[in-house]
């Protein structure tokens, strides 16, 4: 890997992905994905089904080799140092569930054998926090309890980086809130967290940064606070006197809805936009764009996804 990042250098990002490509036969799951995750941040990875989120996460964990590009996790190459990465990273997979007959205490005992840095007191603290009965088999647990048990197993070796693939998917409101609060607590303790989610409300509540994957590429990579601060949705009711060519050229995304045209702009306070809206009169309205609006305009737009914007 070019320009290797020493694993002990805490000044470098926790995760660096450069032009990552992954093919499954003729299917291109990732098409030049690039992003970075700073240490101490909570990074929300969003995208539609099939966008490439799980493929990217499995590549970070060394479970899938890349077809092309470069990946660094805590300064290490997953293809060469997968075991070292898994010792330092807590992983919550979306689909891989423990055996139904397995008791939680048995899962934690296996974790103690697998991780030299396993902390039994940490496991006990999280089990108490989540009110988990370690004698229960997974087949006896609700989906929420099983998710919390998986999180305990991912946390009990005190990882530097926590990677969660759809941790709140399908959970009841109480369990979802418990996991959200756990992520917030871990962030306060300085743990770097990457989590993918279909729930944009979760991302807006806990993430410090967000990456939007569309068609196997990262098309948005920014601090969450910058979205409502900078991005705007321009709604235009077109008529023969309106020339939309400048918006078509400069906007990040375009979507027609019920006769109106909606545009996503990365700087809603730009001078060119103010002048244009003034010319349009009451036929154009500029509003702040939150994450759901940005997501819809980019992923459902009527033209190809933009190059990454920040």
Question: What CATH number corresponds to the domain at position 292?
Answer: 3.30.70
pLDDT at residue 96, rounded to an integer = 73
List CB contacts of 132: < 8 A, sequence separation 6 or more: 104, 126, 145, 148, 149, 152
Domain final residue pick, 214, 234, 263: 214
301: three-class secondary structure by DSSP:
coil
Bridge partners of residue 137, in order along the sequence? 103
pLDDT at residue 238, rounded to an integer = 85
Specify whether 250 is located in the same domain as 159: no
pLDDT at residue 240, rounded to an integer = 74
Task: Report if residue 53 sits inside a domain.
Answer: yes
Contact 93, 63 (CB under 8 A): no
pLDDT at residue 170, rounded to an integer = 87
Contact 47, 53 (CB under 8 A): yes
Higher pLDDT: 6 or 169? It is 169
Residue 198 has, within 13 A of its CA and on its CB side, a CA count of 11
Flag whether pLDDT at 9 surpasses 60: no
Task: Report if residue 75 sits inside a domain.
Answer: no
Contact 19, 42 (CB under 8 A): no
CB atoms under 10 Å from CB of 164, counted, come to 25
CATH of the domain at 94: 3.40.50.300
**% of residues, the chain, pLDDT over 90:** 79
Task: Report if residue 306 sits inside a domain.
Answer: no
Specify whether 44 is located in the same domain as 182: yes
Domain final residue pick, 185, 214, 243: 214
- DSSP label at 157? T
Task: Report if residue 77 sits inside a domain.
Answer: no
Task: Report if residue 26 sits inside a domain.
Answer: no
Task: Report if residue 249 sits inside a domain.
Answer: yes
Specify whether 184 is located in the same domain as 266: no
Q: What is the mean pLDDT of the chain?
A: 91
Question: In 3D, which of 209, 232, 231, 207 has the Cα closest to residue 222?
Answer: 209
Domain final residue pick, 191, 214, 237: 214
Number of domains in the chain: 2
Flag whether pLDDT at 267 surpasses 90: yes
Specify whether 137 is located in the same domain as 248: no
Specify whether 157 is located in the same domain as 285: no
* 126 confidence band (pLDDT: 50, 70, 90): very high
CB atoms under 10 Å from CB of 142, counted, come to 12
Flag whether pLDDT at 241 surpasses 90: no
* 306 confidence band (pLDDT: 50, 70, 90): confident
List CB contacts of 162: < 8 A, sequence separation 6 or more: 89, 90, 92, 154, 155, 186, 191, 192, 193, 194, 195
- How much is the average pLDDT of 73-87? 91
16: three-class secondary structure by DSSP:
strand
Specify whether 172 is located in the same domain as 270: no
Task: Report if residue 21 sits inside a domain.
Answer: no
Question: Residue 296, by phi and psi: left (phi above 0), alpha (psi -120 to 50) or beta?
Answer: alpha
Specify whether 194 is located in the same domain as 280: no
Specify whether 207 is located in the same domain as 234: no
Specify whether 195 is located in the same domain as 56: yes
Pairing label, strands 42-46, 192-196: parallel
Flag whether pLDDT at 243 surpasses 50: yes
- How much is the average pLDDT of 150-156? 95
Specify whether 242 is located in the same domain as 264: yes
Helix axes 104-114, 120-129, angle to 10 degrees: 150
Q: How many angstroms separate the CA atoms of 34 and 18, rounded?
A: 5
CB atoms under 10 Å from CB of 203, counted, come to 24
* 106 confidence band (pLDDT: 50, 70, 90): very high
Residue 227 has, within 13 A of its CA and on its CB side, a CA count of 20
Flag whether pLDDT at 19 surpasses 90: yes
Specify whether 233 is located in the same domain as 202: no
Q: How many angstroms separate the CA atoms of 233 and 224, rounded?
A: 16
Specify whether 234 is located in the same domain as 195: no
Give the range of the structural domain holding residue 53, as residue numbers without chain letter.
39-66+82-214
**% of residues, the chain, pLDDT over 70:** 95
CB atoms under 10 Å from CB of 188, counted, come to 8
């Amino acid at each position: 890997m070019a320009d290797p990042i020493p694993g002990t250098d805490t000044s470098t990002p926790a995760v660096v992905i450069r032009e990552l490509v992954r093919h499954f036969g003729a299917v291109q799951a990732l098409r030049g994905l690039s992003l970075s995750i700073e240490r101490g941040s909570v990074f929300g990875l969003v995208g539609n089904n099939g966008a490439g989120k799980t493929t990217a996460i499995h590549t970070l964990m060394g479970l899938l080799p890349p077809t092309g590009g470069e990946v660094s996790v805590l300064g290490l190459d997953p293809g060469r140092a997968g075991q070292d990465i898994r010792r330092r990273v807590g992983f919550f997979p979306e689909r891989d569930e423990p055996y139904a007959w397995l008791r939680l205490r048995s899962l934690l005992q296996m974790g103690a054998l697998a991780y030299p840095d396993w902390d039994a007191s940490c496991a006990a603290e999280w089990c108490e926090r989540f009110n988990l009965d370690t004698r229960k088999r997974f087949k006896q647990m609700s989906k929420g309890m099983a998710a919390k048990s998986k999180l305990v197993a991912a946390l009990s070796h005190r990882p530097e980086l926590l990677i969660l693939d759809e941790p709140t998917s399908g959970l009841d409101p109480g369990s979802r809130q418990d996991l959200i609060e756990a992520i917030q607590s871990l962030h306060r303790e300085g743990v770097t967290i990457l989590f993918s989610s279909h729930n944009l409300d979760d991302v807006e509540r806990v993430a410090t940064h967000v990456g939007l994957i569309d068609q196997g590429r990262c098309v948005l990579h920014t601090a969450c606070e910058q979205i409502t601060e900078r991005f705007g949705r321009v709604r235009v009711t077109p008529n023969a006197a309106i020339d939309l060519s400048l918006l078509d050229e400069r906007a990040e995304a375009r979507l027609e809805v019920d006769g109106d045209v909606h545009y996503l702009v990365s700087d809603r306070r730009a001078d060119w936009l103010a002048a244009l809206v003034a010319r349009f009169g009451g036929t154009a309205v500029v509003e702040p764009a939150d994450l759901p609006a940005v997501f819809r305009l980019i992923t459902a737009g009527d033209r190809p996804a933009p190059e990454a914007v920040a």
